[in-house]
Chains A and B, each alone.
Chain A
């Protein structure tokens, strides 16, 4: 069974530029999550989708971050404009359901903002 796919793996941009990340979850997984992991910290949830609807985006900085999950499968996360403090690893995870189901993580996208 294929795991969670993410691209790109690495991205370097200058501040104020925009960037987009892509995630393809495990087939059949209805729930998709985007987490931000700053170096030395645990991941922090940015947004959660159930199929193509948003369940939780309370910690998403909506003035600069946006995400969508069209057709309830793939998802993209965008940052526009990027700030230095956005440098982090962006992790995508998927699970069969919501509460209580284990989440399977992709390899992440390491973003460096200079």
Chain B
């Protein structure tokens, strides 16, 4: 069965701290995609990144970086020098190639960045 686990329910940091959000996934499929979405208090899910199972290169986008490791089935997300505007719920999601595109979401991690 396919599953995404985000073990950290809530994280609280002070502005300018670095923070890593963990994501562990389970699947026996060899072709799949991993995503991160941000859900601010307004409620709308915002796409952050997509990775396919054949591309283990880490990615950096500004203060955001992602570490994909197939050996540990993890796709972790790090925010460097966090800001108050980063406060939101962050979801990791898995999509299998043979399932038409549906996203299987984790439970989410609520990040609170305090000034």
Among B13-21, B61-69, B70-78, B100-108, the stretch that binds chain A is: B100-108
Instruction: List chain A positions with a Cβ less than 8 A from chain B.
Output: 31, 33, 35, 40-45, 48, 50, 55-56, 89, 91, 93, 95, 97-108, 110
- Would you give 28 A-B contacts (Cβ < 8 Å), ordered by A? A40-B108, A42-B93, A42-B106, A42-B107, A45-B103, A48-B100, A48-B101, A50-B100, A91-B45, A97-B101, A98-B101, A99-B95, A99-B98, A100-B33, A100-B95, A100-B97, A101-B101, A102-B47, A102-B50, A103-B47, A103-B103, A105-B37, A105-B45, A105-B46, A107-B42, A107-B43, A107-B44, A110-B43
Kindly identify, within residues 13 to 63 of chain B, every residue whose CB is under 8 Å from any CB belonging to chain A: 33, 35, 37, 42-47, 50, 52
Q: How far is the CB of A20 from chain B (nearest CB, A)?
A: 20
Total B residues in contact with A, Cβ cutoff 8 Å: 27
Q: Contacts A41-B107, A42-B93 known; A108 to B43 CB distance under 8 Å?
A: yes
Q: How many CB-defined contacts (below 8 Å) exist between A and B?
A: 72
Asked if B103 and A43 make an inter-chain contact with CB atoms under 8 angstroms apart, the answer reads yes
Asked if A103 and B105 make an inter-chain contact with CB atoms under 8 angstroms apart, the answer reads no
Asked if A99 and B45 make an inter-chain contact with CB atoms under 8 angstroms apart, the answer reads no
Per CB-CB distance, the 4 closest pairs between chain A and chain B, nearest first, are A42-B105, A98-B101, A105-B45, A45-B102
List of A residues within 8 angstroms of B95 by Cβ: 99-100
List of B residues within 8 angstroms of A101 by Cβ: 101
List of B residues within 8 angstroms of A103 by Cβ: 47, 101, 103
* A93→B4 CA distance, assembly (Å): 20
B102 partner, pick from A33, A40, A41, beta carbons under 8 A: A33
